[in-house]
């Protein structure tokens, strides 16, 4: 059996489908369906069983989880604006530590979600303590567990892999609300209002020019499965494309793909702005000093671990995403 926590979430549900594509469906899906609408993310996935996250935590503590081949731990609170440190540290740090220790005691490969939030404002995104300065308690919860892994990795009895996700976008993120990707929000804005809004210039960047490493969830799934295939490899790895692109690129990919689906031609950035299809709003004061204006994963370690597949750029990945959501090939 393979365990996927956060299985009804964004990355977790895509990971279930990635496993299914390999013919693997003996999957224990762990999540919290108190928000029952999240069930839709599991409908197209094949699983053997479902367990509420609190019941699963109790089962782990009691040591009753036989026959597990690997654990993909994707479950976490990913809201970077959450200020309840007690909740965040228990939900993200303590639960992860308990599951890691269980996996080590039973020699089970453990692949978990870390985050690029550990780097704070950067500007260097290399997996090294000197570069890690989280700006919020979410980032700190991920940072602290990564330090546990670093301290114990030489004595580990089974694989442990931490993947520092950068800005992930793709299908099955609709439940994330304000924490959904820029691409998702851009699509909804364009459908509802006929235009897309981005932050104006700040921190030395022009309008819409802040840059992030945007990665398709399909590439994220492939990276996870790479480590399932290579159980002797352990470590903490950036999970990004290694390519920073401006928010303008995301908006252009969304708007132009939507236009093409309607039979209209793609337009360059200047024309999108001139026609009011892309608009800029003042940069919020409350985000100044708490916002990553630039991220770009250094993927040297990931490539050295043998992951050689090309990553989708924004133009390809976002267009694919928009077309899938609208039933186009």
Cα separation, 131 vs 118, in Å, equals 9
Cα separation, 142 vs 92, in Å, equals 7
> Of the listed 102, 138, 140, 165, which one is catalytic?
138
Cα separation, 284 vs 131, in Å, equals 26
- Both tokens of 32, joined, read 């919290």
CA geometry: angle at 200 spanning 319 and 261, to 5°? 20
Query: Residues 22, 16: contact at Cβ < 8 Å?
Result: no
Which residues, other chains included, contact 229 with Cβ-Cβ below 8 Å and sequence gap of 6+? none
Please report the beta strands in the chain, taking only residues with DSSP state E, as ranges in sequence order. 2-5, 27-31, 49-52, 70-73, 110-115, 160-165, 167-169, 196-199, 211-212, 214-216, 235-239, 245-246, 278-281
Q: What is the DSSP string of 80-149?
A: TT---HHHHIIIIIIHHHHHHHHHHHTT--EEEEEEGGGGTT-S--SSSGGG---SSHHHHHHHHHHHHH
> Of the listed 50, 133, 176, 291, which one is catalytic?
176
142 part of the active site: no
- Is residue 59 helix, strand or coil? helix
Query: Residues 259, 266: contact at Cβ < 8 Å?
Result: yes
**β-strand pairing of 110-115 with 70-73:** parallel
**Catalytic residue annotation:** 138, 176
């Amino acid at each position: 059996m393979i365990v996927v926590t956060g299985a009804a979430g964004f990355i977790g549900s895509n990971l279930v489908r990635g496993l299914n594509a390999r013919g693997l469906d003996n999957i224990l899906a762990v999540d919290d369906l108190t928000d029952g609408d999240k069930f839709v993310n599991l409908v197209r996935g094949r699983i053997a069983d479902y367990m509420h996250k609190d019941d699963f935590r109790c089962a782990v503590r009691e040591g009753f989880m036989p026959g597990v081949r690997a654990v993909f731990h994707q479950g976490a609170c990913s809201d970077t604006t959450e200020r309840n440190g007690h909740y965040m540290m228990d939900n993200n740090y303590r639960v992860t530590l308990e599951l890691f220790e269980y996996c080590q005691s039973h020699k089970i490969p453990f692949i978990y979600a870390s985050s690029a939030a550990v780097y704070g404002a950067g500007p260097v995104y290399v997996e090294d303590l000197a570069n890690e300065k989280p700006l919020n308690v979410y980032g700190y919860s991920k940072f602290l567990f990564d330090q546990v892994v670093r301290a114990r990795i030489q004595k580990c009895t089974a694989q442990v892999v931490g993947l520092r996700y950068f800005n992930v976008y793709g299908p099955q993120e609709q439940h994330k609300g304000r924490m959904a990707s820029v691409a998702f929000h851009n699509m909804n804005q364009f459908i509802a209002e006929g235009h897309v809004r981005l932050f104006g210039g700040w921190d030395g960047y022009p309008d819409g020019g802040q840059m992030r490493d945007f990665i398709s969830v399909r590439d994220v799934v492939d990276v996870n499965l790479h480590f399932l295939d290579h159980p002797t490899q352990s470590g903490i790895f950036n999970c990004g494309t290694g390519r920073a692109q401006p928010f303008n690129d995301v908006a252009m990919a969304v708007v132009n793909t939507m236009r093409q689906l309607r039979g209209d031609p793609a337009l360059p950035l200047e024309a999108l702005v001139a026609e009011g299809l892309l608009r800029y709003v003042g940069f919020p004061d409350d985000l100044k000093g708490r916002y990553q204006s630039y991220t770009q994963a250094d993927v040297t370690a990931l490539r050295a671990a043998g992951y050689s597949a090309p990553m989708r750029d924004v133009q390809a990945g976002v267009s694919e995403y928009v077309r899938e959501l609208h039933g186009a090939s």
